[in-house]
A and B are shown apart, each in its own frame.
Chain A
């Protein structure tokens, strides 16, 4: 199955709500149920319903209002069919998202250090496993450092992914200072001439100042060996998260200089409207999205596919 097929299939299972929602809005005012295609006048009431629908997809009040306003601009006073409404929405969403779809940049720098951060349970470890396997398949030599020395069995979990991806995983005992492991890992990756070093960190809520300081320390220590490290800092976000995702991006960006986002668990959940809000507000690159638990369930982000899948349009 093509990747788009998979994405749509999985998003559709849930985002059909947006799909149905638009259908319901349009049908509501259908003057003649027998007509081939119901149409609805785009007026204030209709726009308000549309806005609510977008909010219900986690787009946030502000972004939903902006998207609705932009649609109103071109369509106010016209009678639109459900499909036309979806097209208009998809175009608007794709426009917002167009700038942020950029793959993880690769640099000639060896080893390129990729730091992976995020709140607890967002899917950092799984994402690293998937990314490592992709880089490995592309002929890169990859080393993983398991710097989540806090959570029980986090290291074991990463080791399983390492074995699956055929990538060595550097570990330390539970309770070790993650910064020291990161330092050793970078030194070793340099010695061995690895292309990429991926650093998994413990999950932390962004309002925990002490844990954020620990993260800042990892970055400081890495820079002792390589002043340009980390070359990429990926923030892994859980698509089920609501508007708090905005706070997460803001604070992680401040502390750890996040260079790009990975959105996980896009299969099945909320429809990912929060991605639109993030793109609208921060414009940080979205490198990849995770749509399942298998090792190949991580894909580049495509704004058009995403927008169309989100509103429930066929490609």
Chain B
């Protein structure tokens, strides 16, 4: 499988970093790679071309002037440009749904996720903005499409327009308008049938619906995994129906970023929301910085933090902090951390979100660092007695043999775990001594995502590399993984 965009860019900028100052030729090589990476990430060709041109212009102006870290400089230029294109120059503001009843028209290709998105949006408007919402399905072609929306409506507690068989979409839209006006709804959502952008008849039909209700917002729902055709989809729908915003679905997939860039660049319309799962609450606002960071391989730090918050119980963290402050770290603590890691999506899930670590994934897999290792280590700890967990120093040969047998593993593996624990305990001890509370509190808070993450762009790549190396050699799982560690700690790891 080809490298993800972040892996590829990571490789390019590594090469740059190693070369000191940035020459014109360097920039050209890098941009060539960026272009390939963008294309492989399904950014449409014309969009990729323009993007490269813009970055090239900006890079050329300041490339050689500063020789601090040329790689980072290009990263920053690309990053800023990504944010600029993704976010647009001016703020799109909120959805225009004042003036009730405000119609919102949902359009898109078959299977892009319109119906699910309609329900998600309805739920969001109802729960976050306290709107009274009515949903109506104008999909008369796909079997059971109307029933699907009705069922979703029931699930989220939003009214749907009663289904009347044999009506055409325009008639349903009119009925929805009347019903919304009479029933005192703030917003009514019209979910249309999927249509190909080249199907003139169906496009004309959607235009007729538009003329019948004059939607305040027309949202184009696009599959986030869409390929090069995104250009045509965006152009055609915008030309013929006129869209006011874009919703990207399936952004929880692993094909990331490309379509977002194309959509935004071509329509010039804001990306309003991203769909991140099948449940009706899996709709989030679009954050250009976050997507740009993800595309660039700075890792989706925000997502990591949020995920950490989900699973981290404050109480546990508080307890852990007190123990760490005293420099205490026993097998129970290690077990808790291992379990935490598994909860957060295992090694791979966690590493994928960390900046710069993406490209080391393959090496990590080769080194056998995966979730099965975590599970085995937990099994080993589970095979210890309470005393042994609290005080691993007790373990002599016969106890070790018993524990290994209990977990169905070799003593060797237990030794590795013990070494890992020792190293981590050392680090904790040093930290406990150095920080005297304050910094430690901040560190734990960072782990919980409250203290705010350090800006990924400012993070020292070497430190990350070191953290990842430490992981690879199995010599100490640093806390919850590199990003959750305070920066000082990565230095300690390097010394080992």
Instruction: Tell me the A residues contacting B by CB distance below 8 Å.
Output: 13-14, 17, 52, 55-58, 60-62, 119-123, 150-154, 156-157, 159-161, 205-209, 238, 240-247, 250, 265, 267-271, 273-274, 293
Contact = CB atoms under 8 A, between A and B. Distances in A.
Interface string B78-116: 000000000000000000000000000000011111000
Contacts of A241: 223, 225-227, 255
A6 B434 CA distance: 75
B39 A267 contact: no
Contacts, number: 145
A268 B197 CA distance: 8
Contacts of A17: 232
A243 B148 contact: no
Interface string B193-226: 0001111000000000000000000000001011
With a 10 A CB-CB cut-off, give which of A209, A240, A246 has the most chain B CB atoms.
A240
Given A120-B250, A238-B111, A267-B196, A244 B228 contact: no
Given A159-B144, A265-B110, 11 more contacts: A121-B113, A152-B149, A157-B142, A161-B143, A205-B250, A207-B254, A247-B1, A267-B196, A269-B109, A270-B232, A271-B229
Contacts of A152: 147-149, 151-152, 155
A156 B227 contact: no
A277 to B, nearest CB: 10
Given A121-B110, A157-B143, A250-B1, A57 B253 contact: no
Contacts of A151: 148, 278
28 contacts: A13-B198, A55-B39, A58-B227, A62-B2, A119-B225, A119-B253, A120-B278, A121-B110, A121-B113, A121-B250, A123-B111, A150-B278, A151-B148, A152-B148, A152-B155, A154-B144, A157-B144, A205-B252, A206-B253, A206-B254, A241-B225, A241-B226, A241-B255, A242-B225, A244-B253, A245-B227, A268-B196, A269-B196
B39 A119 contact: no
B2 A238 contact: no
B145 interface: yes
B227 A121 contact: no
Interface of B: 1-2, 36, 39-42, 44-45, 109-113, 141-145, 147-152, 155, 196-199, 223, 225-230, 232-233, 250, 252-255, 258-259, 278, 346
Contacts of B39: 55, 61
Given A62-B2, A242-B42, A244-B253, A274 B227 contact: yes
Contacts of A246: 1-2
Contact of A121 (B36, B111, B232, B259): B111
B40 to A, nearest CB: 6
B12 to A, nearest CB: 15
Contacts of A244: 42, 225, 227, 253-255
Contacts of A150: 278
Nearest to A65: B36
A82 to B, nearest CB: 20
Contacts of A269: 109, 196, 229
Given A121-B111, A157-B148, A240 B223 contact: yes
Contacts of A160: 143-144
B102 to A, nearest CB: 25
Contacts of A250: 1
Main secondary structure of the interface of B (DSSP, over half): loop
| Residue from the set A160, A208, A242, A273 with the largest chain B CB neighbour count within 10 Å | A242
Given A153-B144, A157-B142, A161-B143, A60 B111 contact: no
Main secondary structure of the interface of A (DSSP, over half): loop
A155 to B, nearest CB: 8
Contact of A60 (B40, B148, B230): B40
A243 B44 CA distance: 11
A156 B278 CA distance: 18
Contact of B226 (A61, A153, A208, A240): A240
Nearest to B232: A14
Nearest to B38: A61
A13 B229 CA distance: 13
A289 B40 CA distance: 24
A56 B229 CA distance: 8
Contacts of B1: 246-247, 250
Given A152-B151, A156-B144, A242-B227, A123 B110 contact: yes
A287 to B, nearest CB: 19
Contacts of A238: 111, 223
A103 B228 CA distance: 28
Contacts of B253: 119, 205-207, 244
Interface pairs A-B: 3 shortest CB-CB: A242-B227, A121-B111, A244-B255
Nearest to B279: A150
Contact of B111 (A61, A265, A271): A265
Nearest to B229: A270
Contacts of B40: 60-61, 243
Contacts of A123: 110-111
A250 B151 CA distance: 34
A18 to B, nearest CB: 11
A151 B254 CA distance: 21
Nearest to B275: A120
B362 to A, nearest CB: 14
A245 B278 CA distance: 20
Given A244-B42, A250-B1, A156 B147 contact: yes
A292 B212 CA distance: 28
B226 A243 contact: no
Contacts of B223: 121, 238, 240-241
Contact of A247 (B143, B197, B199, B254): B254
B111 A243 contact: no
Given A205-B252, A250-B1, A153 B145 contact: yes
